[in-house]
Chains A and B, each alone.
Chain A
């Protein structure tokens, strides 16, 4: 699905944020990207949809080269990559519906979007997606009237109405409380499983990452220093990624609470009833 080869990014300031990164993410896989602050996680994600222009290397999505695309072709490719942000990045003064419909901007002409007359199919898709993330009751609220967890759901819905092939997720839970964080991670993983989306999820909480994702990639100073199964993380690998610290308590053991069971079910059939408990 997503193939990254030799990706390097050097900012104008001289910071070498990424150095020769090779990665492959197959369809349906949720990959957790961890690493200390400044390791280049956000840069990596932004290079993929070229919000940040890579210095060198190739990125291709479903066999199509992303690097080197012209403006119009790049916009078409961006439609296929849904992005979810730490600070939600909703347009605060627009309604929930407008925010979700903005995910269709790549598909509709300016006049339709300006007059908010989206094609009926798009509107139906937006409603269905809002239903999926459990926000059908808040369609006409303004985004700035929502709680953090609700906002992130709108963010997820906006990414999903794009009909993406993959999700780029930059610290989706960093502004949320622990419970909401789990709910959001669970939702992201569920929709990826349902729609067979590849996903890269930047995350600071190693525990949470282990709870929900199958594969973890560790980044340190712009290089991939770990790439393996989530359960394969050891104090040694965490030291490799983050540096020296007592890691024994931040690693999830197999006999931990129910969350692991959740993660296991997730990788099999998605569990829809679970959403009933979410607000």
Chain B
């Protein structure tokens, strides 16, 4: 038997089978994709004159960036910044508090079906609109200013955290939760002892992450009138005060970096 195996010639070449088995289909799909790309680039109607003008303005902006002006609009910047930070802190805190019950309700292994469906529906709706659109709606409802921004960020925090929390809860080790059930604990005790310890580190990490998303978003929603530093930035750009705008951007970048650094430190310590 060993002799037979030794004399048999095995292939020395092996290739991974292609994703699409039929050759003609493979080429047709590739060709179609290339053709579509060429045609769609052609239909963009690129206006070279305007592009070069834009580049020039961009260049001026870059120059201004090299010498940001913190001083002449300092009061506006400070007000906007405080408004943004207030908006961020309050909306993150309240958003987290509200997202926990919804997230628990949206976890199939903890909630009965009607509650599950209701919570999932809420999450789907609140996540289907981008922050700017929600902000426009809230501005229309409650008027210009940080209240609209606060409501927008709270709502999107709820959608974001509740969804990820629910998914994390559905992924827990069922054995640990079952052991708590077997001791005769109530549903609340099951959540507190069997589930919470398993999802807490991720919940904290996500909350920190959401904090810096909310700060960045607070700048964006300001542009549509929902208050905060975005409003200040918008005004500066409207007045072509690129140096003040640059100062605002620098501050935003610094704060976002500080958030990011803090959250990475915190996440490393919670395991």
Contact = CB atoms under 8 A, between A and B. Distances in A.
Bind each other: yes
A92 B197 contact: yes
A90 B176 CA distance: 6
A90 B179 contact: yes
Size category, B interface: 20 to 34
A90 B181 CA distance: 12
A19 interface: no
A77 B186 CA distance: 13
B13 interface: no
Interface string B175-219: 110111111111011001110011011000000000000000000
Contact of B194 (A76, A85, A91): A91
Contacts of A81: 182
A107 to B, nearest CB: 8
Given A93-B197, A110-B189, A49 B176 contact: no
A158 B193 CA distance: 13
A51 B189 contact: no
Interface residues of A, number: 30
Contacts of B184: 75-79, 105-107, 162
A91 B185 contact: no
> A51, A93, A98: which has the most chain B beta carbons within 10 Å?
A93
A185 to B, nearest CB: 20
A155 B182 CA distance: 12
A102 interface: yes
Nearest to A105: B185
A28 interface: no
Pick from B175, B180, B182, B197 the residue with the most CB of A within 10 Å: B182
Contacts of B200: 93
A110 B178 CA distance: 18
A79 B183 contact: yes
Nearest to B186: A110
A83 B193 contact: no
A47 to B, nearest CB: 13
Contact of B192 (A49, A78, A114, A162): A114
3 closest Cβ pairs, A-B complex: A106-B184, A105-B185, A78-B184
Interface of B: 173, 175-176, 178-186, 188-189, 192-194, 197-198, 200-201
Interface of A: 49, 51, 75-79, 81, 83, 85, 87, 89-94, 98, 102-107, 110, 113-114, 155, 158, 162
